[in-house]
Amino acid sequence: MNPPKSLTSDENKSRAQLIWELNQVRQRMARLEAADIERRRVEKSLDKYEKKFRELVNLLPQTIYELDKDDKFRFTNQVGFDTFGYDQQDIDAGINFYQLFIPEEREKLNRNIQRIYNGSEVEGHEYTALRKNGTTFQALIYSSPIMYNEKPVGLRGVVIDITDRKQVEQDLKDSRDQFRNLSAHLQSVREEERSYIAREIHDELGQALTALKMDLIWMNKRLTPGQTEIAEKIDSMFNLMDKTIQTIRRISTDLRPGLLDDLGLTAALEWYCEDFQNRTGIKCNLRIKPAEMEIDQERSIAIFRIFQETLTNVARHAQANEVKADLRIKNHDFVMKIIDNGIGISDAQVNDPQNLGLVGLRERVYPWNGRIEIKGRPNKGTTVLVWIPLDRNE
């Protein structure tokens, strides 16, 4: 509204001007009053929603917090007070967020908070939280920035006490380690028993059969030309005894190849590859580099057994006619790669916990922090990759 322009006298002009200004003031007062009413309505509505928010977060089993840009608390729910042992007076006194964590991890916490303020997506991080009474617990924290005018003005997030979860994880790890240690011990005992039984079979039964064969030779030399029936019986016994001796040698060798102890890993692997090819008809190509591997006995036994078990699986399941094995020492690590051209193992079979053969293969490399990877492609064969460190026992 503009002031009137038709007045001529100064008095009337001054009076009209005052009336106009008074109306302007009244209008402004009306607007201010309306704005104040709206402000109080909004504040009341905000108070109502804030009350609902606080009631809601107080029902949550985790610590919910809000911080200002100086890392001072603006809010925490009741669980936060109960978990950390502080009260509202501590919050009002300006307790710092960093005080809730052990000094060794405060720099890590600061880096992650700055990354959040800089717009980076930060996943949950684990910290050692510090209570007011000095005790600690394991915590997982998720946070996000509080934005105002497109600028971060604080931080809000949740603190989850994961002490029980960490304890369960540790218990599972301890149980797994105990199981693997027991498995390694049983494998060692089994190898000792195999070696003992192989020696007993080879030495005792082999020598006894050899002695019996010599006795048969002695008897055969003393037969008269007319004792043809007895001569035929002795020949039959010779054949049976030769087959029995061969069987004893095979069983003894399967239990524990003498080459492994006498001539080393390379000779044992070459012998087994040739024997596998002769027995199964599956072509076995073996490449070893360096030709003579200097590997300790325990690792050599594990490598030989993995090689033996892998080729046995090829013969039983792969439907292959060729297998290639590449064994080498690279950067102080033993690496073995075995590839067949069979039907290929499936992911379900590889990950099947009931597949005890594959579980056993993995357990054989565990004492040296090694690993085994098994991959198959339908009708394209299976690849077994074995990696064993040679210079550490971590």
CA–CA distance, 58 with 63 (Å, rounded to integer)? 9
Its sign, for the CA torsion 19, 24, 28, 31, is positive
pLDDT value of position 191? 65
- So what's the pLDDT on residue 3? 53
CA 188, distance to chain mean position in Å, is: 26
143-196 residue pLDDT tens: 999 888 888 899 989 999 998 888 888 888 877 777 667 766 666 677 677 776
pTM of the entire structure? 0.53
Mean pLDDT per block of 10 residues along the chain (394 residues) reads 52 73 83 78 64 73 90 90 92 90 94 88 87 94 89 91 87 76 69 71 76 84 84 86 81 73 84 90 92 84 89 90 92 92 88 74 84 90 92 57
Q: What is the pLDDT of residue 13?
A: 59
Contact 369, 389 (CB under 8 A): yes
Residue 158's pLDDT is 92
Task: Supply the pLDDT for residue 207.
Answer: 79
pLDDT at 48: 65
- pLDDT for 42 equals 64
Contact 347, 361 (CB under 8 A): no
pLDDT digits (tens, 9 = 90+) for 1-11: 555 555 455 55
Report the pLDDT value the prediction gives residue 43, as an integer from 0 to 100: 64
pLDDT at 7: 47
Look up residue 218 and give its amino acid. Answer: W
